[in-house]
Amino acid sequence: MQEHDLSWVRTEMAVAQAAPRSGAGPVVWARTNLFATPADTIMSLFALLLVVWFLPQILNWLFFSAVWSGTDRLACLTVDQGGELPPGWSGACWPFVLNRFGYFMFGRYPMDERWRVILCGVIFVALLVPLLTPRIPFKRLNAILFFGVFPFVAFLLLVGGYFGLEYVETPLWGGLMVTLVLSYVGIVVSLPLGIVLAMGRRSKMPIVKLLSVIFIETVRGVPLVTVLFMAAFMLPLFVPPGVSFDKLLRALIGVALFASAYMAEVIRGGLQAIPKGQYEGADSLGLGYWQKMGFIVMPQALKLVVPGIVNTFIGLFKDTTLVLIISMFDLLGVVKQSISGDPTWATPQTAKTGYIFAAAIFWVFCFGMSRYSQYMERRLDTGHRK
């Protein structure tokens, strides 16, 4: 019957191969992990070359050739540039960072009042660490303190004007503190707003649903700079003459609204993953809409999307750098300003040094958040599969 040419069917047996080597030790490890096949060997050698070529250069630039002390740009200039270092020298100019460290952290916040920012930071860490450590009890109280009470304390401490604290206007704020304020407020506002928007988008009420969809899709469709641009240039036109918003506040509104749209989509994903039976079960128990959402659906949905939420937080944290486009000075803003606006430290190495320093700080925060989310994911996961 079958007269087809069965050329794709193998007719002879393949040559038998020797059993794979077993055992341990560096040689075996290298053979299996680095030099398994000829192609692998070539790739490994190439990669090794890459590492050997670049790594010493990077380390050398960062540490061994770097300048560690000095008071102005002369410390980081070569002889032909007017300094003292040998010609052809290239290395990090760390005294620039050390000299400007206070500025990078606090911006132009008055020297004598900086203890307030530090105190605020200490309270923040003191509340955050127990909140994030699963073993420590009193989570509810802790959360109330962190999300409910801390904002007011921080507001009083940072802005001042009460209880004998000197008033510090926000244009003086800058550096890492602005980055953290923006992220903290963004996170605290965008999570509940995102939950509300996600529920709105899944609502059966057509108007609520329509409005949520329009808001979410519009915000997600445009770049954050446009939203910040609106907040900076159009918000003043929307309010009655004379009402003015603080610039920081405007940036906060922009960042929080932007993040909440992304948050809404993440949470909607979680809501969709909750089986219908859960909703129906809650209904059959006679729970109202808010009870159903609050006690049954949300806890499960939020747990499912913890990684997504943290990813949105990381995105938000990185996005706070964009406020420099509307002339505000977050960490990146002050670093950039010190690089391009300050002749005291104008050297060819300053820009690289400054940006690498800023990158390291951002990296530590973002990497920490992503590692924590992975840890939480594993924890919540085991809870599920018990």
Partner 1 sequence: MALNDTIDGDQPARISLLYDPKARSYFFQAVLLLALILGVWWIVDNTIENLTRSNISTGFGFLNGRAGFDISDQLIAYSSDSSYGRALIVGVINTAVVALAGIFTATIIGFIVGVGRLSKNWLIRKISTVYVEVFRNIPPLLVILFWYQGVLALLPGVRDSYSLPFGSFLNVRGFYFPRFIWSDGAWLVVAGFVVGIALSAFVARRAHVRQMATGQQFPVFLTSVGLILGLPILGLLLAGIPVSLEFPEKGTFNLTGGVNIKPEFLSLFLALSFYTASFIAEIVRAGIMGVSRGQSEAAAALGLSSGQSLRLVVVPQALRIIIPPLTSQYLNLTKNSSLAVAIGYPDLYAVGGTILNQTGQAIEIVVVFMVVYLSISLLTSLFMNWFNTRMALKER
Partner 2 sequence: MKKIITGMLAVAALGVTSSVASADTLDDVKAKGFVQCGVNTGLAGFSAPDDKGEWTGLDVDFCRAVAAAVFGDGTKVKFTGLSAKDRFTALQSGEIDILSRNTTWTISRDTALGLNFGGVTYYDGQGFMINSKKIPGVNSALQLSGAAVCVQAGTTTELNLADYFKANKMEYNPVVFEKFEEANAAYDAGRCDAYTTDQSGLYAVRLQMASPDDHVVLPEIISKEPLGPSVRQGDDKWFDIVKWTYYALLNTEEAGITQANVDEMKNSENPDIRRLLGVEAETKIGTDLGLSNDWVVNIVKATGNYGEIFERNVGSGSPLKISRGINALWTKGGLQYGMPIR
Q: Which residues bind partner 2 (CB under 8 A)?
A: 73, 82, 108, 110-111, 155, 159, 169-172, 189, 193, 196-197, 211, 214-215, 232-233, 235-237, 239-249, 252-253, 256-257, 325-327, 337, 339-341, 343, 346-347
Q: Quick count: other Cβ atoms within 10 Å of Cβ 97?
A: 20
Instruction: Please tell me whether residue 290 binds partner 1 under the rule CB under 8 A.
Output: no
| Residues in a beta bridge with 67 | 93
What are the residues whose beta carbons fall under 8 Å from the beta carbon of 109, sequence distance 6 or more?
117, 168, 172, 173, 174, 177
Q: Which does 53 bind (CB under 5 to 8 A by kind): partner 2, partner 1, none?
A: none
**SS3 call for 288:** coil
Query: Which residue carries 């859960």 as its tokens?
Result: 278
What are the backbone dihedrals phi and psi of residue 37, each rounded to the nearest 5 degrees, phi first?
-130, 165
Q: Which of 84, 136, 359, 372 binds partner 1 (CB under 8 A)?
A: 359
Instruction: Please tell me whether residue 329 binds partner 1 under the rule CB under 8 A.
Output: no
Hey, what amino acid is at 83? Answer: G
**Element (DSSP H or E) covering residue 72:** none
Lay out the site mask for partner 1 across 12-31 (x = CB under 8 A, - = otherwise): --x-----------------
Q: Which does 326 bind (CB under 5 to 8 A by kind): partner 2, partner 1, none?
A: partner 2
| Residues in a beta bridge with 85 | 78
Instruction: Please tell me whether residue 34 binds partner 1 under the rule CB under 8 A.
Output: yes
**SS3 call for 3:** coil
Lay out the site mask for partner 1 across 197-216 (x = CB under 8 A, - = otherwise): -------xxxxx--x-----
Instruction: Please tell me whether residue 287 binds partner 1 under the rule CB under 8 A.
Output: no
- Chain-centroid distance of CA 205 in Å reads 35
Give CA separation, 210 vs 145, 192, 213, 220, 223, in Å: 35, 19, 5, 15, 22
Burial of 363: CB neighbours in 10 Å, binned 0-12, 13-18, 19+: exposed
Q: In residues, how long is the chain?
A: 386
Q: Which of 20, 221, 277, 383 binds partner 1 (CB under 8 A)?
A: 221
Residue 386 tokens, joined: 């018990």
Q: Quick count: other Cβ atoms within 10 Å of Cβ 230?
A: 17
Q: Which of 64, 115, 363, 375 binds partner 1 (CB under 8 A)?
A: 363
Q: Which does 6 bind (CB under 5 to 8 A by kind): partner 1, partner 2, none?
A: partner 1
Instruction: Please tell me whether residue 356 binds partner 1 under the rule CB under 8 A.
Output: yes
* Nearest distance in Å: CB 96, partner 1: 13
- The residue range among 117-125, 145-153, 187-195, 357-365 that interacts with partner 1, by the rule CB under 8 A, is 357-365
* Nearest distance in Å: CB 200, partner 2: 9
Residue 346 tokens, joined: 């104008």
* Nearest distance in Å: CB 207, partner 1: 4
User: How does DSSP classify residue 330?
Assistant: B
Asked if residue 170 lies in contact with residue 246, where contact means CB atoms within 8 angstroms, the answer is yes
Closer of 110 and 368 to partner 2 (Cβ): 110
Asked if residue 262 lies in contact with residue 255, where contact means CB atoms within 8 angstroms, the answer is no
For binding to partner 1 (CB under 8 A), which residues are involved?
4-8, 10, 14, 32-34, 36, 40, 43-44, 47-48, 50-51, 204-208, 211, 218, 220-226, 229-230, 233-234, 236-241, 286, 314, 318-319, 321-322, 324-325, 332, 336, 339-340, 348, 351-352, 355-356, 358-359, 362-363, 366-367, 370
